[in-house]
Structure 1
Amino acid sequence: MNKSLDFHLGPPDDRLISLVVPVYNERVMLPLFFDRVLPVLAAVNLRHEIVFVDDGSEDGSAVYIRNEIKRTPGLRLVKLSRNFGKEAAVTAGLEHARGDAVIVLDADLQDPPEQIPAMIESWQSGADVVLMQRRSRAGETAFKRWSAHLFYRLLNRTSRTDIPVDTGDFRLMSRKAVDAILTLNERNR
């Protein structure tokens, strides 16, 4: 049993946490996603919703999510007409998320949902954005590790803003940060 699921973040709170979950052909992973994420959300003393964004899946992912919506409160589905790509799916999710804080989490569980309570704790302490950084890249090919290493170093050399190494989309953003992102008009983020 994971001990991190046994703690609570203080007295019950009326604020809402939204998870935005882009989905593209993840039907096989969805049962495992629910098995890992729902207990984590139940352990925090906050209301929560999960906004799934089906990005044109062709494997029955949306059908599976619709069936789960019938059984599990707090689930929502945004179904895109075709595959627009992950960034467009995340943006659609941010547009539909109602939470006071929004966490972006991939359906394939490449990032551990068990870290969600620590993210919420940082947000409750005043952070507007909480980035999660990988400690290891276990299970990835040598090429994937090398290309990720190279990507972050090149990105930081060419960017005016320092990007923390090995951070991905797994992050928490306050409502203030989400609203700021949604004011941007870029099509290609």
Structure 2
Amino acid sequence: MTLRSLSVVIPCHNEEGAIAALIAETFAALSDLKLQIIVVDDGSEDNTAARVSELIETEPRLRLIRHALCSGQSAAIRSGVQAARHDWVATLDGDGQNPPDQIRALIARLASASAARVGLVQGQRLKRKDVASRQLASRLANALRNAVLHDGVTDSGCGLKLFRREAWLAMPFFDHIHRFTPALIRREGWEVLVCPVTHRARQAGRSNYSNLQRALVGAIDLLGVAWLIRRSGKPKAAPIQIESEAAFTLPSGALPDPVSHHQ
């Protein structure tokens, strides 16, 4: 499959120190594509929106959506996906820990597969640059999620994702849905691919979530997602296809081809 156009959605909350560099890096990494970048400022209390607005003055491919109040990462992603102009959407965390050039790895993974029924390419972080306590909490959460949902994904919380806009919008929406995207994309009958991606230290600011917050909301949401999948009444999707770390190489060179809105 040749992907020639893409919308990139970047949810942000208090990321004024990282967002300008992340936007510039994303444009540079995907310069050969017909590209749209949508930054969703989720109720930031700093100058995140101002930094983006400055860039919009000279960059027509950039769009800013502002949430008056902090509504959460899933709501921010939803606003961005709804505003996306292209059929395929990629997401990046606004803190800069997801290198934008890794979107090319996701695109290459899609191109290597029989993509007619692929709804999602899920990034899987290699050598995570988080503190040890956060990595341990993430491993435990992923193990529990996999035991209940059997989604075959070991890092569903990775912000690097590439998906069909229609597949994402077909999912039943709720807060924190971004942590269960692979399982719910499969619930809609689409196939899911997994692709190793690199990871780096936070570029600026601090994390917006504690390990305890993740654990508390995750336990409740997991039961809800398990119920949604059980009650879907839809045929099971094909097994998830995972690309091994040994086979992973970052592609180089060009690939074939209430809210307020700011254009």
Q: TM-score range by the shorter chain?
A: 0.7 to 0.9
1:84 matches 2:71: yes
Pairing 1:130–2:121 present: yes
Matched, 1:156 2:154: no
Contact 1:51 1:76 in 2 (8 A): yes
CA contact (8 A) 2:74 2:175 kept: no
The residue number in structure 2 matching 1:26 is 15
**Which position in structure 1 is the counterpart of 2:167?**
177
Q: 1:143 to 1:157 in 2, by over 3 A?
A: same
Describe how 1:39-50 pairs up with structure 2 within 5 A: 39-42=28-31, 45-50=32-37
TM-score (norm 1): 0.82
Give ranges in structure 1 of 5+ residues lacking alignment.
Answer: 1-8
Deviation string for 1:114-135 (max 9, x for gaps)?
1111222333452331111011
Q: State the Cα RMSD in Å.
A: 2.1
Deviations 1:87-126 (A, max 9, x none): 1111111111111200011111111211111222333452
Q: Matches of 1:40 and 1:17 in 2, distance apart?
A: 12
C-alpha separation in 1, matches of 2:6 and 2:141: 31
Percent of aligned pairs with the same residue?
32
| Counterparts of residues 69-108 of structure 1 (less than 5 Å) | 69-108=56-95
Does the 8 A contact of 2:19 with 2:96 survive in 1?
Answer: no
Q: Whole-Å Cα distance in 2 between the matches of residues 103 and 163 of structure 1?
A: 21
Aligned: 1:145 with 2:135 = yes
Contact 2:72 2:175 survives alignment (8 Å) = no
Q: Secondary structure at the match of 1:128?
A: strand
1:61 match: 48
User: AA paired with 1:165?
Assistant: T
Render the CA deviation track for 1:126-166: whole Å, top value 9, x for unaligned: 2331111011123x22211111111111111222x424112
Give the conservation status (yes or no) of the 8 Å contact 1:129–1:172: yes
Query: Under a length normalisation based on structure 2, what TM-score does the superposition of the two structures give?
Result: 0.60
Q: Distance in 2 between matches of 1:31 and 1:59?
A: 14
